[in-house]
Structure 1
Amino acid sequence: MIANLSARCYAGDRDLTAIADLMNICEEVDRLDEGTTISELQAEFNQPSRDLARDICLWEDADGKLIGFTELSISETGEPIDGWLWFRVHPEARCGDVEVAAVAWGERRMREVAKERGAQVKLRSWVRAQDADRISVLTNCGFRVDRYFCRMARSLSEPIPQAQFPEGFTLRVFPGEQDAEAWVEMFNQSFIDHWNHHDLTVEKFKYDLAKPSYRKDLDLIAVAADGTFAAFCYGEISPQECDRTGRNEGWICVLGTRRGFRKIGLGRAMLLALLQRLKVAGVETAILGVDTANPSGALRLYESAGFHNIRDSISYVKDV
């Protein structure tokens, strides 16, 4: 039991240094690739719809030292409303008290959301498959396994096949904010059949376009002969993350094909086109995450393109 454990709301930018320090101390022990910087935290916290006063909680000991941090990412659209709970606890304070308090805080916050929006809610959390301590906390708090995911990698030193697009489709770089509504419609139509889909909003998309990490040259779309946005693939390269890990990696952040344009090779063509661009940008390894039960066969696509599994993770859920 931690003596005089106290919780408080996020107090703004003055808390950023302490939060970043806590997360980086945890990263030194856990090696979860979850280190951060103040600028990265600001980008995370300032997303549209984030209620900073209610969606972040900090725990301090009797000396005022930050020992725990948690945040909720709450879906803007759809029902049930999902609250993704993410928390970190100082390695010297992992006796269970802060972890249980973090889960209880998340439950209370999601009950508020349920009352305010008049909708059903669920509390969710990610965990690495080998993180036995975190799995124990979640299961003891009433969570159950909901879905399995894996992180995959591919060396870009290996040959990359030429992207072959079906007749009538053109590969383009996304034109920009003026076409945000068309891109968001494509995204939502592409993932409407997928697990845990919540419609993307134009506001959120435009926020992402304005991030310093956004690279237009890695934002690709396939356009049909009639001008319809049919498929997309977006990548990112984070110099800060590469510096922390010592690895030269780039991400395949999202890949999708909208309804009515599937099973004709667009997904594979988009993937290969982005891999080529990442290689040209000097990236050594491409990384992506995938739902192992993805209904569109994404796992098979990635394996056929040379990706292999490097990490397993589990999505847990609790009805609130």
Structure 2
Amino acid sequence: MTERLVICMRRSLTEPVPDPVWPAGIRPVTFEPGRHAETLHALLVEAYARGGGYVEPFAIWWPSLQGDSEYDPALVFVAANERGSIVGVAQCWTGAFVKDLAVAPSMRRNGLGSSLLHQAFRAFRERGSPSIELKVHADNPSGALRLYRSLGFEEVESYRLA
């Protein structure tokens, strides 16, 4: 098995953060666990299919997520298209940590990931968090590292996973 480099990143929230600017036809929707959980899981599976992360099967993922002490449904930021289909999600932990960011492949590179993260930034700033963190695989094929750096995230440490 090859080793993978994981980069831990942090972005300060002490300065004002911009409002999300949603791509045309995209809107934020309130996460409804009973209605959205399976769809969000499918989006995560699709988003990570080419690398960059891994998602357990739904029967493991959902109970594990709900049972985590840092899970708060209010910190699951969801975006939908005009037909109501979920096209993006930022799943965050209460400790100001972005656990997962996933954008449907057909919606990438149009600002949706930035909008979801800006929504998370605002929520955590309102909660008094001085910063927000995340981890990303250095070889993530989706351009995530470039996105995070463009939004002000800075590397704070890195480590290798076997």
**What TM-score results when the alignment is normalised by the length of structure 2?**
0.90
TM-fit CA distance, 1:195:
4.4
CA distance in 2, matches of 1:271, 1:263: 14
CA distance in 2, matches of 1:148, 1:202: 26
Q: What is the CA deviation profile of residues 124-150 of structure 1, one whole-angstrom value per residue up to 9, with x for unaligned ones? A: xxxxxxxxxxxxxxxxxxxxx522121
TM-fit CA distance, 1:177:
2.6
Aligned counterpart, 1:254: 100
Aligned counterpart, 2:74: 217
Match of 2:134 among 288, 292, 307: 288
Match of 2:62 among 198, 206, 209: 206
What SS does the aligned partner of 2:5 have?
Answer: strand
Aligned counterpart, 1:270: 116
Structure 1 residue 168 and structure 2 residue 25: aligned? yes
Compared CA separation, residues 188 and 286, structure 1 to 2 (3 A): same
Q: How does 1:156-195 map to 2 (within 5 A)?
A: 156-195=13-52
What SS does the aligned partner of 1:226 have?
Answer: coil
Q: What is the CA deviation profile of residues 7-52 of structure 1, one whole-angstrom value per residue up to 9, with x for unaligned ones? A: xxxxxxxxxxxxxxxxxxxxxxxxxxxxxxxxxxxxxxxxxxxxxx
Asked if 1 retains the 8 angstrom alpha-carbon contact of 2:52 and 2:136, the reply is no
TM-fit CA distance, 1:313:
0.6
TM-fit CA distance, 1:235:
1.1
Aligned counterpart, 1:112: none
Structure 1 residue 310 and structure 2 residue 134: aligned? no
Report the count of equivalent residues: 161
Q: Please say which structure displays the higher CA radius of gyration.
A: 1
Asked if 1 retains the 8 angstrom alpha-carbon contact of 2:53 and 2:137, the reply is no
Asked if 2 retains the 8 angstrom alpha-carbon contact of 1:169 and 1:222, the reply is yes
The amino acid that maps onto 2:47 is: S
Percent of aligned pairs sharing the same letter: 24
What SS does the aligned partner of 2:152 have?
Answer: coil
State the 4+ residue runs in structure 1 displaced beyond 4 angstroms. Answer: none
TM-fit CA distance, 1:277:
0.5
TM-fit CA distance, 1:194:
1.2
Q: What is the CA deviation profile of residues 228-253 of structure 1, one whole-angstrom value per residue up to 9, with x for unaligned ones? A: 11000011124xxxxxxxxxxx1111
What SS does the aligned partner of 1:222 have?
Answer: strand
CA distance in 2, matches of 1:285, 1:170: 25
What SS does the aligned partner of 1:148 have?
Answer: strand
Over the aligned positions, Cα root-mean-square deviation in angstroms equals 1.7
Q: What is the CA deviation profile of residues 290-319 of structure 1, one whole-angstrom value per residue up to 9, with x for unaligned ones? A: 111211111111111111111011122xxx
TM-fit CA distance, 1:206:
2.4
What SS does the aligned partner of 2:155 have?
Answer: strand
TM-fit CA distance, 1:196:
5.9
Structure 2 unaligned spans of 5+: none
CA distance in 2, matches of 1:194, 1:203: 21
The amino acid that maps onto 1:150 is: I
Match of 2:5 among 148, 165, 169: 148
The amino acid that maps onto 1:193 is: R
The amino acid that maps onto 1:255 is: L
TM-fit CA distance, 1:220:
0.8
CA distance in 1, matches of 2:38, 2:111: 25
What SS does the aligned partner of 2:157 have?
Answer: strand
Asked if 1 retains the 8 angstrom alpha-carbon contact of 2:124 and 2:132, the reply is yes
Asked if 2 retains the 8 angstrom alpha-carbon contact of 1:177 and 1:209, the reply is no
More relative contact order, 1 or 2 (CA 8 Å, 6+ apart): 2
